[in-house]
Amino acid sequence: MSSIIQLLPDHVANQIAAGEVVQRPASVVKELIENAVDAGATEIKLIVKDAGKTLIQVIDNGKGMTVADARLCFERHATSKIRHAEDLFSLHTKGFRGEALASIAAIAHVELKTKQDQEELGTHIVIEGSKFVSQEVAVLPKGTSFSVKNLFFNIPARRNFLKSDTVEFRHVIDEFERVALAHANIHFVLFHNGSEMFNLPASNFRQRIVNVFGGKTNEKLVPVKESTEIVEIQGFVGKPEFAKKSRGEQFFFVNDRFIKSPYLHHAVMAAYEGLLKDGCQPSYFLYLDLPPHTIDINIHPTKTEIKFDDEQALYAILRSSIKHSLGQFNVVPALDFERDATLDTPYEYANKEAETPLIQVDANFNPFLDEDPKPAKTFASSFSGNMTSGTRSAGSNPSFSAGGYKKETSGQNWESLYVGLKQATEEVELGEIQLESEEVTGSLFDEHTIEEASNNRTYQIHKKYIVSPIKSGMLIVDQKRAHQRILYEQFLANITVNQASSQQLLFPLELHFTKTELAIIAELKPSLEGTGFVFEAFRDDSLVISGLPVNVTESEVSVLLEGLIGDLQGELPENSFSQCDRIAKSMARSLSVKTGAYLTEHEQETMVNALFACKEPNISPFLKPTFITMRVEDIDKRFAI
């Protein structure tokens, strides 16, 4: 009887291994850049075409490889990082399995150029689908250059599963940023389709973060530093007021390796307890240095998950160090009942003695004496020092003149001041008085497009539900979901017809985003313009908006775009209809009336009428019911108990 179990050929085994190592072009970028870092390079250049589907090239100035090493590096489980099993618990490099280059060579056209510094000539190797095509001696600069062309050329089904160039390039940027942030002492450059996307010179951690995410990031960062026997923590966290809805700018690095850890993320969120709005996520860039023997990296094929020996202690240290940093830099308000800052002595008065204020008293003043008709010397007269001759009555009104005081009026003529006042008062009619009225603006619905509501009154319950009587009983509408349905159909119609009205801004609005976020907005620009947005310019780290949809205010633009980016952060829809649908849903969710908002009776009736004018009034854009009905019979049954 023949054997059933057989050994797989090497090219088949490499293709199977490629399914774990190479999921998309970003996976190739990660492996090649990490190899360049392990080679001791001080400058790494990444060149990408068509989001990596056509070309991925990594050029470094590392130590290079010999002819034997260049040929052997494409064999399975060939590595220079470990020698014994014990080395797995003392890793100081990125890669160690020896499967990456063999897997990449099995599904692409690979070209390797490498040369060591002490050698005069280098090695040029070409491999296509695990088959060596050529190996030559060439004149090359010091370092290594890997070119991966036509990814998945021999696996068409796998290539068809790749997303659009925008989505794939965003994943490439993610991997590039993770390695660049972990190694601020290395100069990184990224080119895509001939355009320079990133040029990150060697710097410190803070400057590297600012170079990657834009200059406005610097004012958002709060430094964190803690050193213990278990772990050394350094890095930065974002101020609470700059928290976003999305989870984009969150990075953990353990021994210069990017990792994902929900457990450590929970520790960060616990440090921000009471400082963030609901649904907001803080940004953080935290570098953890632990002894290699206390962590296990070899638990996931992509090496982005790590097992810690003492997770509870690490959780507590991370949480307390972030809390301490937020409090130390006055981000967290502190209560001190023993000190009042308003009572502090200014620096210029610290060594001065207090001066006694001078008090001047008129010794001749007596409030109980009757007015004397005879002239008397007053405080004012003594101050002037120059009085006119003659007498002055008690009711006279003195005024200053060139020579002193002059008597203008007499006490007997005071009635002349009120002559004609009574007659003028009687002639004024109150009906003719026009008072300035307070104009009420900012109505939730357009007054000109609303028909007269029915005689049935509506009522708002707990600022959440709208109750309206109907013939069969009672209608209860969820105001948030109903408004989402109304806005969703409005935005979807505006994008489809492309006839949305726009309000021009007197001063253009400039918003700052990362390059990844700007790429998403640029991809969605035609659909956003259909809703009423007018984009004036796209810059390296910002965009300028000169027009907004009619029902969008300037204060809502940043929140709206951040919510849209957060919704599309995972995957960007490829066809135009899906993009329009996602945009309409995201804008409807951001601009809809929230639970707890007070609505006037007119707005309640208008919302109910607009809801039932929609094509699908029964459900919200997110497939939740917008209203329920209660019949009179059901209410009668409740009272029949």
The 3 state secondary structure assigned to 10-65 is HHHHHHHHHHHHCCCHHHHHHHHHHHHHHCCCCEEEEEEEHHHCCEEEEEECCCCC
- Is a pLDDT exceeding 80 seen at residue 456? no
Q: Enumerate the CATH 3.30.1370.100 domain ranges in the chain, comma separated.
A: 459-629
Domain span(s) for CATH 3.30.230.10 in the chain: 205-328
Cβ density class 544-566: b for 16+ within 10 Å, e for less = ebbbbbebbeeebbeebbbbbbb
Helix (H, G, I), strand (E, B) or coil at 219: helix
User: Hey, which residues does 478 pair with through a beta bridge?
Assistant: 465
The string of pLDDT tens digits covering residues 277-336 is 877 889 999 999 998 888 877 666 666 778 888 889 999 999 999 999 988 876 655 555
CA dist 453 and 455 (Å) reads 7
pLDDT, residue 444, reads 55
- Looking at residues 510-527, what average pLDDT do you find? 84
Is it the case that residue 170 has pLDDT exceeding 70?
Answer: yes
Token pair in block for residue 402: 């060139």
Q: Is the pLDDT of residue 523 over 90?
A: no
Residue 388's pLDDT is: 43
Q: What is the C-alpha separation between 154 and 286, in angstroms, rounded? A: 41
Mean pLDDT of 406-422: 56
Residue 391 dihedral angles phi and psi, to the nearest 5°: -105, 160
pLDDT value at residue 153: 87
Average pLDDT (172-179) is 92
Percent of the chain with pLDDT over 70: 74
| Topology, domain 10-200 | Heat Shock Protein 90 (3.30.565)
Q: Which of 6-20, 357-371, 416-430, 449-463 has the lowest mean pLDDT?
A: 416-430
Rounded mean pLDDT of 512-527?
A: 83
- What does the pLDDT read at residue 453? 40
pLDDT bin (cut points 50, 70, 90) of residue 562 is confident
If you ran DSSP here, which 8-state letter would residue 186 be given?
A: S
| C-alpha dihedral sign at 22, 28, 34, 40 | positive
Could you please state the CATH topology (level 3) that the domain comprising 205-328 is classified under.
Ribosomal Protein S5; domain 2 (3.30.230)
The predicted structure's pLDDT at residue 345? 61
Predicted confidence at residue 376, as pLDDT, reads: 46
Instruction: Give the amino acid at 310.
Output: D
> What pLDDT is recorded for position 476?
92
Q: How far apart are CA 145 and CA 28, in angstroms?
A: 14
Higher per-residue pLDDT: 147 or 518: 147
**Helix ranges, 592-631 (H):** 601-611
**3 state SS of 443:** coil
% of the chain at pLDDT higher than 90: 29
Q: What is the mean pLDDT of residues 391-401?
A: 43
Count CB atoms within 10 A of the CB of residue 525. 14
pLDDT in tens, 577-634: 677 888 888 888 888 888 888 888 888 888 999 999 999 999 999 999 999 999 898 8
Query: Which residue, 34, 38, 37, 10, is CA-closest to 102?
Result: 10
User: What CATH number was assigned to the domain covering residues 459-629?
Assistant: 3.30.1370.100
503 has a pLDDT exceeding 80? yes
CA 481 from chain centre, in angstroms, equals: 25
**CATH 3.30.565.10 residue ranges in the chain?**
10-200
User: What does the pLDDT read at residue 307?
Assistant: 82
Q: Which residue has the higher pLDDT, 576 or 158?
A: 158
Give me the pLDDT at residue 484, please.
93
pTM, to two decimals: 0.69
pLDDT at 568: 74
Banded model confidence at residue 502, pLDDT cuts 50, 70, 90: confident
Which range of 82-91, 155-164, 486-495 scores highest in mean pLDDT? It is 486-495
In SS3 terms, 242-269 reads as HCECCCCCEEEEECCEEECCHHHHHHHH
Q: Which residue has the higher pLDDT, 628 or 390?
A: 628
Q: Give the range among 100-114, 210-224, 337-351, 582-596 with minimum mean pLDDT.
A: 337-351
Is the pLDDT score of 487 beyond 60?
yes
Q: How far is CA 344 from the centre of its chain?
A: 38
Q: Read off the pLDDT band of 486 (50, 70, 90).
A: very high
Mean pLDDT of the chain: 79
